[in-house]
Structure formats: C-alpha cells, structure tokens
A and B are shown apart, each in its own frame.
Chain A
Amino acid sequence: MSVFKTTATTLAALAATTAVAAAQSREQVQVAGSSTVLPYASIVAEAFAENTDFAAPVVQSGGSSAGLRQFCEGAGENTIDIANASRPISESEIETCRANGVDGIIEVRIGYDGIVFASQIDGPEFTAFEPEQWYHALAAQLPQDGEMVDNPNANWTDVDDTLPDAEILTFIPGTNHGTREVFNENVILAGCEASGAMEQILEINGGDEEAAEVTCMDIRSDGSAVEIQGDYTETLNRMNQNPDSVGVFGLAFYENNTGSLKVATMGGVEPNTETIASGEYPVSRPLFFYVKKPHIGVIPGLKEYAMFFVSDEVAGPGGPLAQYGLVPDPELAQTREKVENETTMSDE
C-alpha cells in the first residue's frame, strides 16, 4: 500500500513543481559555445556575479559550431541567450536562426586571440616556422613536375634543412573548432601561395582558383597531422606522449603553460599580445559572442552582462581578460556603443 501512496505523492509533487517552474522565469543568463572563449566567459561570469546583484551566468562549452546551432534552435526561456564563437557566424547559420524564429542577433567582438605553434620545452629545437614549411609538411598532395603527388615528406628536414631532425607529427585543431578555419587560411593557404605551389596547382587544374584553394588546404591523413576534436589539454597530453611533436594552441593556453611548452615564431614574428594587436603576427582571429535581442529585457542581467563584458575595465588593456591572454580590441568603444544601442546584425 505504502508503495502506491509514495508513488502517487511523488507524481503529484512532481506535477506541482513543474507548474511552479512554468510560472517562474529564468533568473540567470545561459551561455554556450566556443571552448576558446569559455575561459574568458567564465572569468567575466564570475566577476559579473561578484560585482553586481545579478546571478552568475551559466557557461557551457562544446565548440563554436555546436554553440551556434544551439543558439539558432529557437527563442524562448529554455534556449540559450548567448553563443560564444571563435569565428564569425556564417550566412547559413543566420538563415537557420531566422527560420527558427531567432530574429535580431547582436554581434559582439570581444578581442583577438593568437594561434601559436609550440613544442615540448625539452624537445627538438622548433624555434622558427614559416607558413610554407607547414604547407609542405601537412598538405595531402604537393605539385611536382606538372602533376599532383602524395606528400612525400616524412621528416622536418625533408621540408627544410634548417628545421630539426624529427619526424613530422603535428596536433592540429579538428574541423569542429573555429581555430581550424584560421589555421587553414592563414597558415596552410598562405604557405601554399607563398611557396608558389598555388600557381603550379592552377596550371595543373586549368586555372580553377576555388578548386586550387581546396587542394591547398587539403590536409594529409596518413597520421602526420592528428586532428584534435577536444580542447588544448588533449593536445598537451598527446604531446607529452610524443616529445618530438608540434602542437597548435591558443595564445592564452600557451601563456598558462610556459613551464612546459616553448613557442616558435611564425614568419619571423614572435606571438605576444603586442604583435597580435598590431596584426604583425600572421595567425590571429577575432573572438565573438552573439546575443539574442528578443531575450533582452526578458532574461534579467542579459544586457548588463554583455555591457560588463565589453567594458574597458574588463576587456580593455590591463583588465582580467588581457591578464589571462586575450588581445584587447582597439575598437572596443564602438562595440560597446553597439551593445548599448542594441544594434543587430541586420541593422548594421
């Protein structure tokens, strides 16, 4: 008998609490997206709760693409308010958003992040890289005597005599990361163009520029370039098992692990906040978050969080984000104005 009673009471209680939940509105901002932006977002979320009367936002990670997909699932209290992204939102994603009733997206650029190439501190002397070396090391196929051949390079010395004698083994971000896009374009494609391979490919395929770009950015899949689907800690762990390898990291991650990693220059420029801010260092990308405008005024603290994030004290030079490794955006004031006026992407 008691079993029936317990069940009945529990179900009744459950129904009652569900009703309560439907009546009460969400009190905290929900954020999801890029694992690169996650540390910054959690620093801001923490400071936001410490310094205001609002509840601390909940920050999920999972990658830019996953975050934006969740963002575009629809509007309403059981959907997220902000998507973090390490790349700009794509046209198709904006389309999906619109189709699902998410109208009015505010794009907020928070700063820049550098992508650095690092190896184990006691490993081979990888101190300077050029984009063409990476292209030659990682391309799936290279042009040779008027035709495309499978990449024959197995050792870094095959690529360039000045590089250390070590087997080519690199850990690069997987295609689910925004970082990968920047890596492909600013390193591999740049290297393809700089080495003259681009012209040769164009000759071979008869001048189809788009196809040539795709050929350039096709990464070999024979084990020399390992795609990391997880985050930088996974890259670091894999490198610990392979001391001769080279990994691709975000600047902030490297700066937190300078005890175990050494960084190489790219194109002769050392990556640091100054060279990235000035654009001298070739491999950097902007970081964003996207706000659902219809949620402003419904979810308490949403606009305040966005404003807090882009304030000079937080995202500006010397603030906690810069301290962690974010390269401050020189145009932060404009971004702030955009958030203040709630300017959506379609208004711009």
Chain B
Amino acid sequence: MTDATASGNAQGRSRSLKVLDERTRKRYAAEKRFRYYGMGAVGVGVLLLVILLVSILSNGLGAFRQTMFELEITLTQAQITEAEESLLKTSVYRGFIEENMRAALTEAGIADEVETSQAMELLGGDAGSTLRNWAVGQRVTPVPEPDEGVTRTFNFLADGRIDGYFKGRVTMESAERDSRVTPEELALADDLREAGVLRVEFNPGFLTMSDASENQPEAAGLGVAIVGSLYMMLIVLCLALPIGVCASIYLEEFAPKNKLTDLIEVNISNLAAVPSIVFGILGLAIFINFMGLPLSAPIVGGLVLTLMTLPTIIISTRAALKSVPPSIRSAALGVGASQMQTVFHHVLPLAAPGILTGTIIGLAQALGETAPLLLIGMVAFVQEYPAAPPEGLFDPASALPVQVYNWTQRADPAFFERASGAIIVLLVFLAIMNVTAVLLRRRFERRW
C-alpha cells in the first residue's frame, strides 16, 4: 500500500523542493504573465495620459504668452470730445492710434519703408477700446484753452495672426494663402520685434479678461468663466454639503429599515447614474420656467449642479458613516449619550475625512460639467463680469468647460490655442481639488 502511494506520488511531482515540477512551473508562469498584463494595462493608461498632457500643453501653453505692441499715444481734449460724439467711438480712437504710429516707426528706424496703415494691421482689434477706456477718464469738459493733450505709453495686444507668427502657428507660407495676414506684415513684425516695439511676454490677461468676439481672439480671456465656475461651486458647496450630509445621517443612523427607505436608497443610487443633461432639462423646467429665475445665471447652474452632485455626496457620506465601527456608537450610548449626541460628538467627526473627500470629488465632477448648462443658457458669449455675490449670482456668467467648448467652435485658429490654454487652467483646478481630497484623507483618516 505504502509502496503504491509512494510510486504514485513520484509520477505526479518530484519530491525535491529545489527542482520545480511541471504544475508548479505552470502556476508560476501564469502568475508572471498576469503581472505583465497588469503592468501593460497601467502602461497603456500612463501612455494615454502622457499623450493627452503633451498635446494639451504643446497647444495650450502659448495662450499664456502674448505679443505686445508698445506705443506712446498723445491725445488732445478736442480729439477725445470728437470721438465721444461719434457712434462707433472705438474706431475713431483707432484712427488716433494711426496718427501716433508714425512716431513709433521713426523711433524704430523703419519709418521710410512702411506705411502706417500697414503697421496698424499688426495691432489687435481691441486697441481702440483700450485707448477709449483710458481716454474717457482723462476727458475734461469743456475743452480747455490751450488744449495741451495727454500722453501715455500703452502696451496694446498685437493681432492674433502676428502673435501666432511668433509662436510658430503662422508661417510665411501660410501667410501667403491667408486672407487675414500678408508675408510683408510678418516681415514688418520681425523688424519691429528687433526694434523692441513688439515683445512676447507673459499674458495675465488670459486669466483676467473676458471673452472676446471672433474679430479679436488676442483679447479673449477666462475671467468671466473662472468667476462663473467659482460662483457655481460656492452654491453647490453651500447646498449640497449640508443637504447631503443631513440626508445620509438620517438614512444611516435614524431611519427605520422598511420598504420606503429601501426605495429611497435605490433611487439615490439610480440618480447618481442619470446622465447630466437630464438635470439640465429639469433645471430649465423648474428653475427657469416655473420659478422664473434668470437665464444664463450661476444661481441656476449651481442649483442644477447641486442636484447632480447630491447623490455622489450622499453615497460617499453613507459609506463614511458605515465605516465608523459600531463599538464607538455602543460605547457612547453605553455611557448615556443620546443618539444625536452619539452621531454629532463621535460618529460624524470620525467620518468627516470621508465626507470631505466625497464632497470634493463631487465638486470636481460638477466643475467639469457642460451638458446641464447648455439648456439653461450658460453656453453663451458672455462679456460682462457678474457683480459680487449675492446679486452677482443672478447675473449672466460663463463656466470653464463652457469656455473650452465655445472656443473650439470659433473659426479663427487662434481660438484653438486659447481652448487648450483653458483646458490647462481647468485641469489645474481639478488637480488642486483632487490633491486636497487625497491630503485630507491622509491627514485625518483613522484605521481600526
């Protein structure tokens, strides 16, 4: 008997631990293969991320730099008065810039070779309004005698095509075919850059200026979008956090287990999976058509995003509450605390890191949402900054992802660069929020 078993074993696998038999080798090989699959999967993910980041950064970093046109302008009071009396005031001011252009060209030493009108083509579309904004403040009525005039050195934005030339987006060949710029203008831009009149520098305006029309892509900025997104996040935080936490505490700690609470639970999970555009339709029907809130306002956007974020917050809060061990509750109840004291003095503080993490992730999700804003009129060309809250919550505003969407639809290729720049800003905001969430969890998390 013993002989038989021994020989049987000897056939199946060797007795020595040092020599691997067939089955063990196979098991090891399978494990190794699986590790490679896993590494491959991670590798693919990282590679895609790198491609995404490289393409966005290479397209978008240019948006943070802008070519500036330095020009000294002298205006007389009579000129200001004349301009203010016309209908299209900015174009009259543009005419005044042309009058001052000759001096700048002389200083650069190329006045003989070029016409001032050609040099004007290098100037961005908003030069007239930049000048007007300043000139209106300098105006003295009635026109004094003698009319001495006022002088100031301006850094006007250069035209989008010229800007693109210095960033490599526009070339001499493409200018040949382009109806908006000529190779002569690019050559002139080169000369002016050498003379120090044109400079490429950091462009804070990209973060502070409001959106601009297609005639002046160089003047387009993210200001209104950032403010709009901030207002909406504020509303979401103020509404979704307290409502979500209250709802989850009740459901988790107080609610009786019956069919009704089961139904509510199922519905909350379902709501978390509802496509965001559905919340937009709801927002249009309830907040705008029924409650009469204004179109394009951050308050409506915030309310819609609150509805969208609530399930996420409730689910993560309930998970955080659940992970607090029952022994803590029992101990608190055992020494005579009421159920509410147990929750607020013991359970909630321990669950706080989880709740905060869930909230921040929900907010980050809401920050990147465009679809629900489409129907409530926030996907729009908004030029005016909203006022300070609370009134400002009712003024029209844009949002960061909306601005990206809008800019990708513009005809001028310069907007493509701006769109990528806006994506970078959006990603930075998202990264900050997610890192905060991770840090909070690391810092306060307790393990049992």
Contact = CB atoms under 8 A, between A and B. Distances in A.
Interface of A: 1, 3-4, 6-7, 10, 13-14, 16-18, 20-22, 24, 26-28, 30, 32, 35, 38-39, 41-43, 45-47, 49-51, 55-56, 58-62, 73, 76-80, 121, 230-233, 252-253, 255-259, 308, 311, 313-314, 319-320, 323-324
B161 to A, nearest CB: 10
Contact of A80 (B175, B178, B295, B410): B295
Given A3-B246, A39-B213, A46 B293 contact: no
A314 B288 CA distance: 34
Contact of B344 (A1, A43, A76, A256): A1
A259 B177 contact: yes
B292 interface: yes
A45 to B, nearest CB: 6
8 contacts: A39-B213, A47-B88, A49-B384, A58-B377, A60-B379, A233-B410, A252-B411, A259-B175
B174 interface: yes
Given A3-B348, A60-B381, A313-B86, 19 more contacts: A1-B344, A14-B239, A20-B394, A21-B293, A22-B292, A28-B396, A30-B295, A35-B409, A39-B214, A42-B381, A43-B215, A46-B213, A49-B383, A56-B382, A58-B377, A233-B409, A253-B411, A256-B214, A313-B91
Interface in B256-301: 288-289, 291-296, 299
A21 B241 CA distance: 24
Contacts of A230: 409
A328 B260 CA distance: 65
Contacts of A22: 292
Interface of B: 86-91, 128-129, 132, 174-175, 177-180, 212-216, 238-239, 241-243, 245-246, 249, 288-289, 291-296, 299, 344, 348, 377, 379-384, 390-391, 393-396, 408-413
Contact of B90 (A4, A51, A256): A51
A45 B377 contact: no
Nearest to B413: A257
A34 to B, nearest CB: 13
A320 B215 contact: yes
Nearest to B415: A233
Contacts of A42: 213-214, 381
Contacts of B380: 32, 58-61
A61 B406 CA distance: 10
A324 B411 CA distance: 10
B391 A259 contact: no
A30 B238 CA distance: 28
A6 B411 contact: no
Given A42-B214, A50-B132, A21 B296 contact: no
A110 to B, nearest CB: 15
Contacts of B90: 47, 50-51
A256 to B, nearest CB: 4
A257 B295 contact: no
Contacts of B391: 17, 20, 24
A56 B383 contact: yes
Contacts of A18: 291, 293
Contact of A313 (B88, B377, B394): B88
B299 A324 contact: no
Could you say which of A35, A45, A51, A253 has the most chain B C-beta atoms within 10 Å of its C-beta?
A: A51
Contact of B390 (A4, A13, A76, A314): A13
A21 B246 CA distance: 28
A314 B241 CA distance: 49
